Structure 1
Amino acid sequence: MKVKLYNDVKQLAAQLDSDSYQHLMQRINGGIVLQKMQARNVAAVHDGALPFLKSSLVAVPDAVLREDKAWIAQELKRWHNFSHPALWKFDRTVEYEGKLYLQGPRLEGAPLSLHSHPFSVSNTIVFLEESLSFLQMIHDSGYIMGSLKPESIFWKDHACFVDIGLEFELAKKYHQPGMPLQINWEYQPPEVFLSAQLTPASDIYALGIMTWEAIVGQTFDKGEGITELMQWHQQSYPVSLRQGKKGLPVELSALLEGMCNKSAQHRIKIEDALKILHSLRKEHVKESPAAEVVKTSRIQLPMQHTSIEMIRVPAGSFMMGGADEDGAADLDDLPAHKVTLSKNYYISTTLITQEIYFMVMNDNPSRFTGPKRPVEHVSWFEAIQFCNALSRWLGFPAYYRIAADHVECIPKNKGFRLPTEAEWEFAARAGLNTKYAGGNHLDEVGCYEGNREFFGCIPVGQYKPNAWGIFDMSGNVMEWCWDGYDEYSKKEQTDPQGEPDELYKIARGGAWNRDDKDARLKKRKWMQKSVQTDYLGFRVVREA
């Protein structure tokens, strides 16, 4: 996929000598990534220079659209069923002026093709580790990317792939014997020019060349046409590659040379490369808690291809509560105190949606209906009942023992449950000390009364997630926690559960009808557990 990106419609219109959005969109019809501008019902495109706004639309190549629609649906389903931290996941398909787009979370950063700053050693290690891990998942599933190119890999501290090899699969499907394979030849290894046979080793080579370019900070001049491309790739060590080696650790340079080996048979294997990178990471990459969150679990529900995506949160310690840097705090948020969570756990990346709630409970109590909107108007007790019902439906032992209105935990059971207040805040912080979950600018990370476009909650995952990929922890709807309300103390705690209060329960996270103060990630609220309101929902956790 060739990525053409813009962001500011008015600015681009001026460049095209037009202030007509309609005319502008006709001129851009080859664009790949489209944006829905906040508070405007127009589409815009991003050039990588400005931050993305809400969600992104990635276009399916025109060549794909001209072919079998059933095949397209099959391939998109394959994409949607993959799960990897480095893979961009779309939520739905959108048709616009005869083109098909995949809509999903806002893409961060820019494609490698638009990066002008050379990769540092630490960037190179992180990029390769994440990208090779992604390729390993693709190859283990029996597929090959086949047409890797820098336009399809976004980078901003982490790698994000916006392709799973659709063009290559299309080329294979309609390839005629004796004719050249219709693929991108710029990053193909020497053996492909001779045999046109792509293998997993071809992907490793392509990624190696692109990484060299990222280190140097420019695209290598490989010539034009297949003949010149073949001559460039057959060189033992092009001058441009030797220049990229300056300042690299010997082990990293050797790894890249192994990825770009001219012989597919002697090219380094992914598992061996990952072992080297793991060792290099310890010495050259400054770790943050966010880097530990690498394992994603998608719980597939047995109906309608719906899933609950959960992120593994590592055990750790943090200072819970306290005032923000600007001094903002309520009495209930104080004092700051050290909390240790001794066990890893999974937490759902989004609030429980109405679609999922209805599938499990055969009911939708929400006021603002929509399958991808968070379920709201549920009491604390109803959230507990949902957790047990979901556990039983998916074959897990129920975590809660319910007797009338009394609820007890069964810690040995590994079913779904509500997060404790400490687990909620630890996940919301994601190893950082920002004012809101995901940053210090609420307009970027959550829906609240100051930026909402409509009256009511919105579909989940529309704003920027936090550093661990968790959405809507500062806005949309508030979230029930397990704990009963209790005042904080200065005493250190390990795995706190809160008071067994049978009347008042903790709710966290801000809401669409609340101000920015309620969206602070340290802000505490408590409500009677029987409360049902249109700004209160929940998410779930499980033991890891």
Structure 2
Amino acid sequence: MQTLQPNTLLQGGRYKIIKTLGQGGFGITYLAIQSGLEREVAVKEFFMKEFCERDSATSHVTLGMETSRDMVKRFRAKFIKEARNIAKLNHPNIVRIIDVFEENGTAYYVMEYAKGGSLGEKLRKKGSFSKSIATRYITQVAEAVGYIHQRKMNHLDIKPDNIMLSGDDNVILIDFGLSKQYDATTGSQTSSTPVGISEGYAPIEQYQIGGVASFTPETDIYALGATYFKMLTGITPPSAPSLLEDGVSIESLKAKRVSKNVVDTILHSMYSKKKDRFHSIEDFLQGLRDYSNSNKVKSLISDKEEMLVLNEKVLTFNINGVSFEMVRIDSGSFFMGATSDMEETEEELEECEYIVQSIYEKPIHKVTLCNYYIGRTVVTQKMWTAIMGANPSKFRGANKPVENISWSDCLVFISKLNALTGKVFRLPTEAEWEFAARGGNLSRHYRYSGSDTLANVAWCDITSEYDTTSDVAKKQPNELGLYDMSGNVYEWCSDWYGDYSCIAQHNPMGAKYGESRVARGGSWLDASVLCRISSRSCFSADTKDYFIGLRLALSE
């Protein structure tokens, strides 16, 4: 018998054991009744199952063989020290210690009882959580961890099974058995007990001797990211050693339609090297705030309802009997360029005779944009004709994209449109175009605009039946309700073409001068690699061809 039996009394009847809640390598947790206050509590008993034994008649615990007795005594002392350290903490999302005592040859501490069970149990039943619920839970855990970090303490074992839920569905961080306290001045550990490892949640430094000898917020931040990943996907992350080469895969996050802000938060928490992770809980929480601010409505609604909300962000114009729509793009930040989901496949390299397109899409850099509007579709031939009085296109069709127009022709068209509407339409910047193509703040990190399957969203060399453009809005839209941002026709942007910079930028306008103008999106005659969202092309401003058109933008 390893566990105490139901109705066992402790402390002279002050606590009565009801049942066993769980057992780990270092202890057993019970549900008990505190007799004086007649309330349920959780009692944790120090019991190293590999070394301790219990007398079934007396419940007395012996500390194993002579060779291991000193080690077990050290851990029992740490167990008591853990209880006393936790008792000094006062945070709504950290378990509250009620009592600590020694009895039956071992040690116990008494905690408030979390009636909602653990996040681990809930995940095993539900599979995963919605983005809004997972974000609320992980925010509360992060705030608790930030509190202990202020006191130079690392938890070192954050995972769903160590996060409990109160009766009102708020989280309670428990199990500080592996935690370490560090000297407030030097940052060095004040104990030398071994560091445990929870596979999937422990970063690489916990596998290394001396890896957490100094206070390091990044270690717990890794575990927060891993726990967030688990809550969103239902999948336990791979162990840290297996991630050294390729890092965290985002495919399972993409399958759950998780926004880019969330993916970025998880990736920046779970980098293998500490120097690449968030360096404080405040940084981690800021990533969550960026997500929450950009998803105030989205996090609580279904995909069908989401499209209704998007429709409320549309401006409709009617010019000379032709209507067109401009979709509002909420302000946000993203990483521009050849992110990991944009790198060429072997097949794409063969298509392009091993010309690596993505070298022109680097370095990846952070871009922040203000609100703006962009056309739901490219400008059609009927719209161009309504403004200009003539149709220059080679492939005729009222609902086909206008093409065979130069960058300079676009400026003339826009000038006339502005005179008719009193608005200030313009070409989108290259950054605005890419952010919109990626789905803005609703991005699901697709390779092409709206899907990872090219045929679903793009008219291009391998998906078009005929050697011609196609009517707009016949394929599925992207997350923002925008059509044909991959394939059909290239779309002129306002920027001069120039090399990217690694420096973070706010509303970038592109190079100050150059020889050609940016065009994005690929066309009906292009290979799939040129239809990737991050793919860049350029043409001289006077180029006219039957594969280049335009999409309008409008500042808010």
Normalized against structure 2, the TM-score is what? Answer: 0.42
Rg bigger for which structure?
2
Highest RCO, 1 vs 2 (Cα 8 Å, sep ≥ 6)? 1
